[in-house]
Structure 1
């Protein structure tokens, strides 16, 4: 079976003789995941599956269902997965508001089939972690708080992706000069004052390194002197290439590869302020923020699906390959224990975000929550892992077609819209 699916992944199409039997020349539809190798497995074969907290995963899945119900069919490929998720969301809405773990587990096992997924010619996927920083700051500039976090500039033009749809963090970004579009300012230029009158500041913080890591994470909590917390979220980028400065430190022999982490990067910058500032400026990418008034102190950062992320249950995936709301089961040994001790990470996750460095069918960024502790854990994660994709049972991964549902009896009532029965925590952000 694995060899058969590998042929599908490599070829992109098969003749009707392979899928439909000899004697027909009709070509088969393209596969759902031409970039990947899929191998069917069983839930019972997933390490730790029976011990996982499926009810928490169901809470995250229902949040995604609210966005799926609102979005309609305006999604990028694979559209078939999105279409197959919608009736599953309707059935999820009819479950008890606070289902037992047994009920949640049966729901996932009934609605989905598990497939191990890897990139071509790779044995495992790859995992990293991210979090929402929390720093002290102010709405006004002062001697203590002199590092700006900028709002989206008025002259920033971000292009739409090919085929339409909203811009992403991979879209190009420009400004007009004499009527022509030119690339937007890079990090060094912005830090040197290039925004001028276009640069509105949403908050001022103390440490330039904190601003840099807020750009990497895409969100930040700013605790004001009166105790109020501003929730700042991603609101655009400058379109310049992202350069991981951890890689530069390794290449230059400044930090050993085996000791590389976010804490190691921070330690280097703190110990070498001038060199650290120059190092950060080598990453030309720059992020702009908005105040997320819709978020409470308990909500996670808003992901690309437009929902508050759930610590330990939300992941960022490659949006060009996967649909938001898709469940994944991750199996890895990660340094999440005390003082970075390695321990099993066996957990059902929901795809709810994306990132410019998240590329490939078995690549994910795990959201660990907010604050320094979450940041320490997230910064350690650069590890291989096994990815199991949960596909709706209506789908055949070797085909792009979704089987049509059987006609519903005329007397059967229509299901309630998925969003109407979801928990109150479902975000209404666009």
Structure 2
């Protein structure tokens, strides 16, 4: 159950009339995404409604009957960013072209809070010769961003495709290399995107390599090629995520599987019911969400441009909502 992570957390129960654009959304699309993971939720607060969701109720009425919108604020302004499933070129065996490894999770790293840093793993060779390589790719910059996204596809040289998902990390705090470029004065905040960062790293090979080490976090992968090609990658709930209906959240504030109403402002406002089916090392806070855009370059460009304010409202079971904010009117 999400609760006040810090003393300044404010919780307010709203009505559906308070949600800008609620009546105009495609509730059926959100409902289908919700059902994809709802039955995996073990909490008794969710079990009754998840069972009822299998009886084909009217989607909009379903959400309005079982839930109440809850605004959770922790003093940090809302921020929406995007993520996607990248596609890389690679091979099962190392070669002159494919020489950058995707590693499986080392067994000893699973039991520690803090393992070797990115620099120690890449430059120190601590994983070499252990048979942990899942595949080899040809671009260290794309590999870095694959780790940021947490999942992706590798187009193998023999024509096959390999899908990988998040298996764990080394425990180091994620540090944004985009923010580091802003701190150095290389770019203004509004200029930074994934493509801008990639191009800068490639134009400045030595300095770019050092910039990647600014982020000590390192992600390990697992092969998930049994996921059908027409489905999205596996999220934190071990189910396929859905483009433009799945968000990554901070589970300290938002329970995984919960519907979340998004009011994203900016150049292209978005009013939509999303489902919290994923997490991310950079997604921290009650008003922080990462929108899943899909697979491939076009999705990557769209996701990379998203960095907007707004607000997000979690839909929680009625009893839980009022238990969190007992002073709210019934």
Match of 1:107 in 2: 62
Match of 2:247 in 1: 315
Alignment partner of 1:186 out of 117, 120, 126: 117
What RMSD over aligned residues (CA atoms) do the two structures have, in Å?
A: 2.1
Contact 1:237 1:287 in 2 (8 A): yes
1:279-358 mapped onto 2 (5 Å cutoff): 279-334=211-266, 342-358=267-283
Q: Is 1:195 aligned to residue 122 of structure 2? A: no
Alignment partner of 1:94 out of 55, 62, 71: 55
Can you list the C-alpha shifts for 1:70-106, whole angstroms capped at 9, x where unaligned?
Answer: xx3xxxxxxxxx321111101101116xxxxxx2111
Divergent runs of 4+, >6 A: none
Alignment partner of 1:126 out of 74, 79, 82: 79
Contact 2:13 2:325 in 1 (8 A): no
Can you list the C-alpha shifts for 1:374-403, whole angstroms capped at 9, x where unaligned?
Answer: 1111112222111122121233434599xx
Structure 1 residue 301 displacement after superposition: 1.5
Structure 1 residue 128 displacement after superposition: 1.4
Contact 1:153 1:198 in 2 (8 A): no
Can you list the C-alpha shifts for 1:150-171, whole angstroms capped at 9, x where unaligned?
Answer: 1122432334xxxxxxxxxxxx
Equivalent-residue separation in structure 2 for 1:218 and 1:144 (angstroms): 23
Equivalent-residue separation in structure 1 for 2:99 and 2:241 (angstroms): 30
The TM-score with structure 1 as length reference comes to 0.71
Q: Is 1:55 aligned to residue 8 of structure 2? A: no
Can you list the C-alpha shifts for 1:341-394, whole angstroms capped at 9, x where unaligned?
Answer: x22211001111112222222211111111111111111222211112212123
User: Structure 1 residues 191, 114: CA separation in 2 closer, same or farther (over 3 Å shift)?
Assistant: same
Structure 1 residue 314 displacement after superposition: 0.9
Match of 1:44 in 2: 17
1:391-406 mapped onto 2 (5 Å cutoff): 391-399=316-324
User: Structure 1 residues 256, 105: CA separation in 2 closer, same or farther (over 3 Å shift)?
Assistant: same
Structure 1 residue 110 displacement after superposition: 1.2
| Structure 1: runs of 5+ lacking an equivalent | 1-29, 73-81, 97-102, 160-171, 174-183, 335-341, 402-430
| Structure 2: runs of 5+ lacking an equivalent | none
Contact 2:39 2:47 in 1 (8 A): no
Equivalent-residue separation in structure 2 for 1:386 and 1:370 (angstroms): 26
Match of 1:218 in 2: 150
Equivalent-residue separation in structure 1 for 2:82 and 2:312 (angstroms): 15
Alignment partner of 2:91 out of 107, 114, 138: 138
Alignment partner of 1:252 out of 177, 184, 209: 184
Match of 2:306 in 1: 381
Equivalent-residue separation in structure 1 for 2:94 and 2:130 (angstroms): 17
Counterpart secondary structure, 2:40 = helix
Equivalent-residue separation in structure 2 for 1:56 and 1:227 (angstroms): 34
Structure 1 residue 235 displacement after superposition: 1.1
Equivalent-residue separation in structure 1 for 2:325 and 2:238 (angstroms): 27
The TM-score with structure 2 as length reference comes to 0.91
Contact 2:69 2:315 in 1 (8 A): yes
Equivalent-residue separation in structure 2 for 1:285 and 1:199 (angstroms): 21
Identify the range of structure 1 (290-299 vs 244-253) with the bigger mean alpha-carbon deviation. 290-299
Equivalent-residue separation in structure 1 for 2:122 and 2:13 (angstroms): 50
Match of 2:71 in 1: 116
Q: Is 1:261 aligned to residue 186 of structure 2? A: no
User: Structure 1 residues 154, 396: CA separation in 2 closer, same or farther (over 3 Å shift)?
Assistant: closer
Contact 1:329 1:348 in 2 (8 A): yes
Contact 1:32 1:398 in 2 (8 A): no
Structure 1 residue 43 displacement after superposition: 1.9
User: Structure 1 residues 32, 245: CA separation in 2 closer, same or farther (over 3 Å shift)?
Assistant: closer
Contact 1:126 1:363 in 2 (8 A): yes
Q: Which has the larger radius of gyration?
A: 1
Match of 1:164 in 2: none
Alignment partner of 1:148 out of 89, 94, 101: 101
| Equivalent residue pairs, number | 323
Equivalent-residue separation in structure 2 for 1:282 and 1:116 (angstroms): 34
User: Structure 1 residues 130, 317: CA separation in 2 closer, same or farther (over 3 Å shift)?
Assistant: same
